[in-house]
Amino acid sequence: MVNATFGRRMAACASAFLLCLVFFAGSSSASRDRRPPTTPSSLAVSGASASSFTVSWRASTDRSGVSGYDVWLNGSAAGKTSTLSYSFYSLTCGTSYTVAVDAYDTAGNHSSRASITASTSACASTATAPQNSTPPSISGTPQVGQTLTAATGSWTGTAPITYAYQWQDCDSAGANCVATSGASSTYALSSADQGHTIRVRVTGSNSAGSSSATSAQTTVVQAAPAPPPSSGLHVSGNRLLDASGNLVRLHGINYSGTEYACIQGWGIFDGPSDDAAVAAMRSWNSNVVHIGLNEDCILGINGAPAAYSGSNYMNAIVAFVNRVHAHGMYAEVSLMWAAPGTQQALDHPAILDADHAGAALQAIANAFKNDPKTFIGLQSEPHAITWACWKNGGSSCSVGYTALGMQGALDAVRSTGATNVVTASGIDYANNLSQWLTNKPADSLNQLMAEAHVYGGNSCASTSCLDANYAPVAASVPIVFGETGEMYDGSSCGSTNVSTFMNWADAHSVGYEAWTWDTWGNCSSLISDYNGTPANAYANWVKGHYSTLP
């Protein structure tokens, strides 16, 4: 009996021992689980509205089992879930949020967070579309060569409202109207408009929509006024003469802006171009105005805005030149900025490109071939090239593109039948004329002038250099200083250098065009306002000197 009882007690004790082992083994296994679940994956957004959206994901895995998921919104805890999605409510419309999700297991281990950007839909619009309340109107003189300006009229609707313009050419009764190429708030009248009427259609647009309104038509467009008695320019030997054979001494100004405003996308001129502006130029006793053109804007290529390029650009240039002539001044129109291929014309090229420059020069020549009071500049400032490249272009150059030399440029002008006087600028930014005569392009009409640009700080800026470099050329052909000023970088507002240049030029029957009739606020500027107020001592000297000239 004793042995049996002892055996039973031993068996019970053994069973209890095994249970203890199992208990402690399980407890040890749990304490060793420090491996986090895998990171949730394949996050996706669905059901987005103006105030809510749902984010879902693919399940995480874990050896002891995933207990649930923590959800975060823009870095702050948003909630927990044991499902594979979570919906967010009471959000702000039209807003992006960062949603993150991590998984956790029974041991309290958390996975890395996975995140996604989720957005609510746009806020409901309360804007109202534009409606015209007072029709658009047109100001300006309806005459060939003049420029019309559109006023938008009055509009209602949610701001901001933007406006687009479409000019229309109508018959003399204001009917049978067709859209023209004019797409800006101004329209330059050409000979094609003579005998017609013009109106403009203005479209107002905002976030809620758009609507259009049309102005009344103008009176019938009249022909351009008869020009003053002819004073056509021509070259005779080394002299520049008018139609009556009188010597012409050019003394005037540059008006910068037409080379850059268009390609930069904000206009055609960098300042006013109306009759009052031209009258102010003439008030300094100027007899010539020099403007430089942009190849892309002439041709309407390489992204030049349509509103400021092509026919819009050239019509504006012609209208301005006509106003210059109406105030008794000559004009020089030069090809200033150009570039090959699809590159935009954003600066002076080393030498003209064969891709477009010929066509641009032909466009200039066609515009002015019946205007003997305008002379044409082939290129403003050739530089970083040899004289052979300057004359011949092509294989004579090493500029990374096929070049058009001065001979080819002159031939392009003459191919239009234009007989205008033409200028060819020297190399080194037009400051070097040392081999101009040796490389002079052939002109069957013998209507070629040399052009130089002379500033303080240039390589050729002393009387000794002018005597050696320019005087031999001046003895053979007329010269014009197409640009001149106190310092090439506008670093001085004095008159020491410019007085040297102009006095030398006067003694050698050389013309000059001072830089520049713009209100830039530096020492290169001649004026502080477009009424012609001199801007500095440099400008005062130039104005005073011009007052002494015939």
pLDDT of 301-348, one tens digit each? Answer: 999 999 999 999 999 999 999 999 999 999 999 999 999 999 999 999
Tens of pLDDT, residues 252-296: 999 999 999 999 999 999 999 999 999 999 999 999 999 999 999
136 in the same domain as 115: no
Query: Which whole number is the average pLDDT over 45-68?
Result: 94
Are 477 and 448 in contact by the 8 Å Cβ rule? The answer is: yes
In a domain, 7, yes or no: no
User: To which residue do tokens 């050739």 refer?
Assistant: 382
What pLDDT, on the 0 to 100 scale, is given for residue 183? 80
299 in the same domain as 187: no
What pLDDT, on the 0 to 100 scale, is given for residue 140? 87
In a domain, 248, yes or no: yes
In a domain, 400, yes or no: yes
- Which of 289, 283, 271 is CA-nearest to residue 543? 283
User: 340: cis peptide before it, omega within 30°?
Assistant: no
Task: Give residue 148's domain range.
Answer: 131-214
pLDDT(6) > 70: no
Using CA atoms, how far residue 441 sits from 186, 405, 478, 494, in Å, is 40, 9, 14, 37
Q: Distance (Å, rounded) from C-alpha 138 to C-alpha 199?
A: 7
- Number of other residues whose CB lies within 10 A of the CB of residue 69: 24
In a domain, 64, yes or no: yes
525 in the same domain as 384: yes
Phi, psi of 139 (to 5 degrees): -115, 160
Where does 254-338 have alpha helices with state H?
275-282, 295-299, 310-326
Q: Which residue has the higher pLDDT, 513 or 18?
A: 513
The answer to pTM > 0.85 is no
Tens of pLDDT, residues 351-368: 999 999 999 999 999 999
362 in the same domain as 393: yes
What pLDDT, on the 0 to 100 scale, is given for residue 13? 44
As for how many domains the chain has, the answer is 3
Tens of pLDDT, residues 514-543: 999 999 999 999 999 999 999 999 999 999
261 in the same domain as 173: no
Tens of pLDDT, residues 80-132: 999 999 999 999 999 999 999 999 999 889 999 999 999 999 888 788 999 99
What pLDDT, on the 0 to 100 scale, is given for residue 225? 56
179: exposed, middle or buried (Cβ count in 10 Å: 0-12, 13-18, 19+): exposed
Are 354 and 404 in contact by the 8 Å Cβ rule? The answer is: yes
Q: Distance (Å, rounded) from C-alpha 360 to C-alpha 357?
A: 5
CATH of the domain at 159: 2.60.40.2700
In a domain, 224, yes or no: no
pLDDT(409) > 50: yes
pLDDT(167) > 90: yes
What pLDDT, on the 0 to 100 scale, is given for residue 32? 67
CATH of the domain at 57: 2.60.40.10
In a domain, 184, yes or no: yes
